[in-house]
Each structure stands twice: as structure tokens, then as C-alpha cells.
Structure 1
Amino acid sequence: MMLSSSVLAANVEGAGVVAERMREKVASTPVQWEGNTITLTVSIGVSSTVPKAHDEMNGLIKSADDALYAAKDAGRNRVMLSANQEEGGFDITPV
């Protein structure tokens, strides 16, 4: 199936919305442990690409990992998106 860049962008943005909902749910659900209340946070990196024949998943995993570290570097407890650009490379943006 062929996906245009606009469909791909919509898919990564949709995944970003889901990731942001997960992040919000984790942050708003304190955990009780040994009589203490612990507030958790999560940083999430989301990536999307259109694979070519014989592509390995290493590039996709690396771009998601790069987005995760960008989320941590930006202050943690956030979601960052990494989308494959038509001219090559990945663009990392916040949700």
C-alpha cells in the first residue's frame, strides 16, 4: 500500500496523540507504595517511516530512540515525534 507524506504525517501525529494520552494518564495516576504516594512521569519517543524493500528496522528504532532522548533533554515527562522527511533524515517535534 502506498502512503502519501500527508497520510504518513497524520499517522505519526495520531500516534503522538495516543502517546500524549498515555503520558497524561501516567502523570495523573499516583502510586501508593509502603505508605508513600509516588507520582510517576514518562517520556515517549514516537517515530514513523515508510519502509523501502529490504529495509531493516534499525533506522526506525534509532529515530524513535532519538525522539525519546529529545523528550528527556527537553525536560522529561513529554512526547516527541520523529517523522521521516521526504528529502531524507528525520524531523523531531514536540506533540
Structure 2
Amino acid sequence: MEVQNSTKDRYISFCDIECDKNADKLIAMLDGHLEAGSGSEQWRVYFSKKRAEQKQMGRDNLNLIGNQINPLYEYFDECDDEAAQDLLYQLEQECC
């Protein structure tokens, strides 16, 4: 009898891993913080610029997240948003 491992492993398959959906959710959280003026002005300017570059270059949300993992961790930490940090960690482990 084979034991099923419930851990999702992107190196085996992306099946059942909702990378795009979770990336969209995280970016919505980021945009919410930016619109609310959360965190330092330096971070708001930085991520506003990155979002504009993303749109101009036609890149998806997962691409932005993959390129900005460490800054996103720092920004969400500054915003005291544990849910965003948890989702970012999940995306990093499953999709990036």
C-alpha cells in the first residue's frame, strides 16, 4: 500500500498549487497597504514604483513577488501583517 504525502511539492508537480490565485491575493493585500498609507513612505514609494514597472512590462503578480520576496517580507513586517507574511511564505515555498 502506497502512503500519500499531503505536502505539495512544486518540484514534482504544480497540480493543486494555486500560485496565480495566491499571488493575486497577496498583491491585493500589498495594494491595500499602499492605499491605506501603511508603513514608511520609503516602502510605499518603492512598491508603487515596482507595481508601475510591473504593469508597464506586462508581468504577472507571481513574477513581481518572486523578484521582491525579501522587500515584501520587510514591508509586511513593518505593517505588522502576519497573514500577508504567512501567504508570502507559502508562495515562496510552493511557487517561487
Same fold (TM over 0.5): no
Higher relative contact order (Cα pairs below 8 Å, separated by 6+ residues)? 2
Q: Which of the pair is proportionally richer in strand?
A: 1
Q: Which of the pair is proportionally richer in helix?
A: 2
Bigger-Rg structure (1/2):
1
